[in-house]
Structures are given as structure tokens and as C-alpha cells.
Amino acid sequence: MAIEPNHDEHLVAAVERGGGKIVGLDEARVLVWIGLPDDFPELPDAVEWVALESAGIEDFFDAGIVDDRRVWTNASGFYAENVAEHALALLLAGLRQINTAVTRHWDKERIDTSVRSLRGSTVAIVGAGGIGASLGPRLKACGARVIAVNRSGRDVPGADEVRRSTELDAVWASTDHVVLAAPATAETRHMIDAESLAALPNHAWIVNIARGPLVDEEALYDALVAGEIAGAALDVTDPEPPAADHPLWSLPNVIITPHVANPASGLTREFAPWLAKNLRRFAAGDELISVVTPGREY
């Protein structure tokens, strides 16, 4: 198999654990791609499987790279533990007003009246795949009730309730806070819009650790200013980074982190065990983990 554009030590070790060996692209049956779409190579016919290191691969679809001539996998769910941890940190920071305390110092009167507890609240995880399965137990450990939302309505371990994505109107009306973990597709674009924001309670926090286009940021700004919701914590924006004069920067009830829920420092280390597992499956002729469905864009 080939690893492009460079031979990371974690991935090389994973290939060896999976029973493979590193060769040039012209000899490979498998390509592990850890770069961006811009530099993606022309694939020889012999390549049967392309393993993309990214979880969100809409840029690869937009570039016309993903084809139906071979199997493609992404890293959906591979980084769930890291991202779930960050999502919980963002939600707690907002509810406990840690972001406000950092900037306003000892403004006890203002902060004391705004602090809320996660305990006893309901949190909806929209797009409850691997991240949802990791985040749910963390939320429940803090005393929250969890609604998991996915396309199929399949069970999510630890969730108190599961809803299909077609039932979002009912979800907005029955939750306190929302964590977005859905892929970016035509269907999910601006799922958080003026209508959904108006349906949420005014104490709601929205956390987005998925993709920026899930949120209509103009509608979000208006809702925050009007007090329709309490706050937003965004690890992703549209575009990235937001412009220096973007109005969201000026709001005290907005937390923005620079797309670090899954930090680059640990990316290949987290990806490596899954690559080894998929290599063993590939060698045995078994179905691979996280196969991309071209018609669904993820």
C-alpha cells in the first residue's frame, strides 16, 4: 500500500500491524491519503481502496475525486473521543459562564445570575453517530438527559430518546441545548436557521463541532442579539476562519475555537488503530469500516 503525501510514523506502524507493506503508488492496491484534495494524485487502476484521513470529505466530493470505481473510506467516528470531549468542554464553558469570567474578571453580579447547570437539562445531539455515542455518556455523567438524532432512528447506546432527523421540529421544542455533529450535505445545510432558533428555549446553547455550513450564521447572530437563545459555542464556522470584523466576534455569549476539537497534533495517532483494523478486514475480504456512500456525500 501507499501512504501519501508522506510516511507518518504512526501510519507506517499501523500498516505493519495490519499485515501490509509500504510500496509506491504505482504498485499499491491501497492508498492512504493524509493530504487535501488539491494535491490528490491520479490513481492507477490497481488501487482498489482509498483511505482518507479526514472525517468530513465534502471537499473531495466537490473536487470530483471520489468515484465509484473503487472503495473509499473516511475517518467518520475515528476521532469521536477527542471531539466529544471538546463538545462537552464548550457546552460547560458556556453554561458555567467561564468565557464571560475570563474576559470580565471579577464581575460576580453579572456572572452569578447567568450561570446554569447541565444537571437536569436535556441535550439533543444532532447527527448522533460515533461522536454521539461518545458524547452521550459524558453528558449523562453530568446529570443531563440525552436525545440522539440520526437519519435512521437507530438506537444510540445511552440515549434516553432517539429521533429521526425528519423530526427536528419536535426536537427543538423538547430540548434545552443542541450539539451539532452531523455531516455537511445539501440536506443539513443551515439546519440551524431563523425558524429552528426561534423554536429553541431562550436559555439554549448551541454547540457546533461538525461543519460550519450547518448553521446560518446571520440568523444565529440575530437570535443571539435578540436573546432568542443564550449562546453559541463554535469550533467550526463558515467560512474558516471568520473575517476579523465578523459580528459574532463581538458578542459576549459566543465562544469560537479554531477548529481544534480534533487537534492536528494527534490526528494520525488517532487514525492509526482504525487503519490497522481496516487493513486486516481488507486482507480478509470483509466489509471495511466507514465506507463512503457517494450519493450521501459522506
Is 257 exposed, middle or buried (CB count within 10 Å of its CB: 0-12, 13-18, 19+)?
middle
CB atoms within 10 A of CB 43: 18
Q: Which of 29, 116, 259, 269 is catalytic?
A: 259
**Cross-strand partners of 164:** 150
CB atoms within 10 A of CB 274: 19
Runs of H (alpha helix) within 8-151: 9-17, 58-62, 80-95, 98-104, 108-112, 130-141
Element (DSSP H or E) covering residue 169: helix 168-174
Phi, psi (rounded to 5 degrees) for 165? -65, -15
Is 158 exposed, middle or buried (CB count within 10 Å of its CB: 0-12, 13-18, 19+)?
middle
Is 240 a residue of the active site?
A: yes
* Cβ pair 240, 210 in contact under 8 A: no
Is 227 exposed, middle or buried (CB count within 10 Å of its CB: 0-12, 13-18, 19+)?
exposed
**Cross-strand partners of 32:** 3, 51
Is 138 a residue of the active site?
A: no
Distances (CA, A) of 29 to 172, 290, 291: 46, 18, 16
Q: Which of 154, 240, 287, 296 is catalytic?
A: 240
Q: Which three cell numbers stand for residue 78?
A: 475515528
**Cross-strand partners of 92:** none
Is 259 a residue of the active site?
A: yes
Q: Which of 138, 163, 177, 211 is catalytic?
A: 211
Q: What is the DSSP letter of 252?
A: T
Annotated catalytic residues are 211, 240, 259
